[in-house]
């Protein structure tokens, strides 16, 4: 019988177990570049993404749809389902909420890629200072995942085009003392609540300069961060773009950073932040560091005196290893 894991069931796995699942797979030798690339199917009102993967006794496939016009209808822009199979019999064993799975696994990959750097930045201090560009589920999920692995002192949420600060910003005013600031627009803005980012671009620039972690989780097609502002040693988690012509980060940052990608082939095919920086002569393809190269014994060294950019587009193996972990948890 095929089990159903709804949104609540998937999120019950939690960010710590999700990060552990990603890191365990990489440590066990999973090769992201050996997977099947996702297929993008043009549709009348958007596109569909098909993301299959087989690994370690399991096969799964996510079918996601992207409908840009749904926002005007008050509907979700992205919908998805995930079907998990036992590889030995190819019998479907579980149907998972694909949106929840994506929301959980994306920050799990981001944090898994830079966990040691996050803990080093937080070591001996009062907590990490986060600046988050974006107001959607991935923005909140990245804050949650980072906080689950290292102490966080304050979070600033920057929304584009003067939009309102998201309601979830208030949920991060928690008993552990975390402060939440809220800004509007890439040039800053005013917010409500206990702390605000202020009303000028200078305020946002100052926050980026002091940030330990910058998250970009937007639908922007042009850079939302001035790369000259990011301090040496900071971490930038970029997850919003997955098309070769769209970017959230500029060449100024990509050229001075260590750029860590989930897969070299995927980054060169889909990551506009990478593709455009290479095209502009700021980044060399052979300078990219992959997740596989940075995991386990003999891992590639990541210089502490340069920004670390973790650029991900999303791959089928990430869905699979987190889906398996959620399925196993549900079965006790």
Average pLDDT across each block of 10 residues of the chain; the chain has 332 residues. List them in order: 96 98 95 91 95 97 95 92 97 98 98 95 88 93 97 89 66 48 40 32 83 95 95 96 94 97 95 98 96 74 91 97 97 82
Q: What is the pLDDT of residue 200?
A: 44
Within this chain, do residues 15 and 148 fall inside the same structural domain, yes or no? no
Note the pTM of the prediction, 2 decimals. 0.90
Within this chain, do residues 157 and 75 fall inside the same structural domain, yes or no? no
φ, ψ at 272 (rounded to 5°): -60, -35
DSSP E strand stretches across the chain: 3-5, 39-43, 46-55, 58-66, 78-86, 91-97, 128-133, 152-159, 179-184, 213-216, 235-238, 258-261, 289-290, 308-311
Within this chain, do residues 179 and 268 fall inside the same structural domain, yes or no? yes
Beta-carbon neighbour count of residue 270 at 10 Å? 23
Write out the DSSP string of 279-305.
Answer: HTTS--GGG-EEHHHHSSTTPPP--TT
d(CA 275, CA 239): 15
Within this chain, do residues 308 and 292 fall inside the same structural domain, yes or no? yes
Within this chain, do residues 146 and 259 fall inside the same structural domain, yes or no? yes
Within this chain, do residues 81 and 162 fall inside the same structural domain, yes or no? no
Range of the domain at 118: 106-314
Q: What is the pLDDT of residue 267?
A: 96
CATH number of the domain where residue 94 is located: 3.30.1780.10
Within this chain, do residues 216 and 74 fall inside the same structural domain, yes or no? no
φ, ψ at 18 (rounded to 5°): -65, -45
How many domains is the chain partitioned into structurally? 2
Q: What is the pLDDT of residue 211?
A: 96
Within this chain, do residues 23 and 167 fall inside the same structural domain, yes or no? no
Instruction: Take residue 100 and report the two structure tokens written for it.
Output: 């929840």
Within this chain, do residues 285 and 323 fall inside the same structural domain, yes or no? no
CATH number of the domain where residue 229 is located: 3.40.50.720
pLDDT digits 0-9 by tens, 203-246: 889 999 999 999 999 989 999 999 999 999 999 999 999 899 99
φ, ψ at 47 (rounded to 5°): -150, 160
Within this chain, do residues 84 and 150 fall inside the same structural domain, yes or no? no
Within this chain, do residues 96 and 175 fall inside the same structural domain, yes or no? no
Within this chain, do residues 91 and 212 fall inside the same structural domain, yes or no? no
């Amino acid at each position: 019988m095929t089990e159903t894991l709804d949104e609540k069931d998937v999120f019950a796995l939690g960010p710590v177990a999700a990060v552990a699942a990603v890191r365990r797979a990489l440590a066990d030798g999973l090769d992201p570049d050996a997977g099947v690339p996702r297929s993008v199917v043009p549709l009348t009102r958007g596109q569909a993404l098909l993301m299959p993967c087989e690994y370690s006794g399991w096969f799964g496939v996510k079918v996601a749809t992207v409908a840009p016009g749904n926002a005007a209808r008050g509907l979700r822009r992205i919908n998805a389902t995930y079907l998990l199979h036992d590889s030995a019999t190819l019998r479907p064993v579980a149907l998972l909420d694909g949106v929840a799975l994506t929301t959980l696994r994306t920050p799990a990959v981001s944090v898994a890629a830079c966990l040691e750097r996050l803990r080093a930045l937080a070591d001996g201090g009062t907590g990490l200072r986060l600046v988050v560009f974006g107001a959607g589920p991935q923005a909140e999920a990245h804050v949650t995942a980072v906080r689950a692995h290292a102490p966080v002192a304050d979070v600033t949420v920057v929304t584009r085009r003067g939009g309102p600060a998201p309601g979830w910003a208030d949920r991060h005013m928690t008993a552990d003392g975390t402060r939440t600031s809220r800004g509007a627009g890439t040039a800053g803005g005013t917010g409500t609540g206990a702390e605000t980012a202020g009303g000028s671009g200078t305020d946002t620039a100052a926050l980026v300069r002091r940030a330990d972690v910058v998250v970009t989780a937007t639908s922007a097609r042009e850079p939302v961060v001035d790369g000259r502002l990011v301090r040496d040693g900071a971490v930038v988690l970029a997850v919003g773009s997955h098309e070769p012509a769209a970017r959230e980060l500029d060449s100024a940052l990509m050229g001075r950073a260590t750029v860590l990608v989930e897969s070299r082939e995927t980054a060169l095919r889909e990551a506009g932040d990478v593709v455009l920086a290479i095209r502009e002569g700021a980044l060399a393809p052979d300078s990219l560091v992959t997740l596989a190269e940075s995991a386990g014994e003999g891992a590639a060294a990541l210089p502490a005196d340069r920004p670390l950019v973790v650029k991900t587009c999303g791959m089928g193996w990430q869905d699979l290893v987190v889906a398996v972990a959620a399925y196993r948890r549900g079965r006790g």
